[in-house]
Amino acid sequence: MHYGDYNWQDLVISGKLKSLVIQELDTYLERHSLKKVGNKSDTLKAITCHMFQILYTTIPDHGMDSDIESDEVNESDDDIV
């Protein structure tokens, strides 16, 4: 049982992470230098939180804020006579 043998993202998102035994879950904790916590439920929560932190911080910014700013600039240009 090796870290790379599992699709961790799929396991978390599909809810199948809970089907793994604690030794399998520990491979995730060890790989990411996370502290081993109390019981299996705590371990599942720790892995799930960590995975969503990774997913959240890797979502690409498609420049939505810059679109709003450029619209505001365009609107302000209309006021010039």
Q: Are 69 and 75 in contact (CB under 8 A)?
A: no
Is residue 32 scored above 50 in pLDDT? yes
* pLDDT tier for residue 70 given thresholds of 50, 70 and 90: very low
Percent of the chain with pLDDT over 90: 60
* pLDDT tier for residue 65 given thresholds of 50, 70 and 90: low
> Chain-wide mean pLDDT for the chain?
82
Percent of the chain with pLDDT over 70: 72
Q: Are 19 and 28 in contact (CB under 8 A)?
A: no
* Number of other CB atoms surrounding residue 17 within 10 Å: 20
